């Protein structure tokens, strides 16, 4: 079976013709893209809320005066979360830097 470039072109044309004959396929793609934007927007809002809560947690951990509590498993886990959050924050800052021309 040899490669036939004309056969490939024919299939491509058929597929584009099918899209023209079936506008619901195009509408479905547009709806899917809109759904992606909605999901992205929701995730952005949730992520912002999460970062705000973690920021508040960092103040509480930083100002904790009871030494026994500082050594508790709860505070140790909070510190682990804060370290990961710091890495995420550094990554966000790096991505937000303008590219030098």
State residue 79's pLDDT score: 93
Please give the structure tokens belonging to residue 7. Answer: 């056969």
User: Structural domain boundaries of the chain?
Assistant: 7-96
Q: Is the pLDDT of residue 14 over 50?
A: no
Note the pLDDT of residue 37. Answer: 77
- Helix (H) or strand (E) holding 83, with range, is helix 73-96
Average pLDDT over residues 59-63: 92
Cβ atoms 23, 37 nearer than 8 A: no
| Nearest-10 Cα torsion for 44, 48, 51, 53 | -130
Q: Do residues 85 and 51 touch, judged by C-beta distance below 8 A? A: yes
């Amino acid at each position: 079976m040899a490669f036939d470039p004309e056969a490939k072109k024919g299939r491509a044309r058929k597929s584009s013709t099918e899209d023209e004959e079936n506008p619901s396929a195009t509408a479905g793609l547009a709806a899917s893209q809109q759904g992606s934007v909605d999901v992205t927007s929701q995730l952005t809002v949730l992520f912002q809320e999460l970062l705000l809560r973690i920021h508040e947690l960092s103040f509480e951990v930083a100002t904790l005066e009871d030494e026994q509590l500082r050594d508790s498993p709860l505070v140790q886990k909070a510190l682990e979360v804060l370290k990961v959050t710091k890495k995420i924050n550094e990554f966000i800052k790096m991505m937000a830097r303008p590219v030098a021309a």
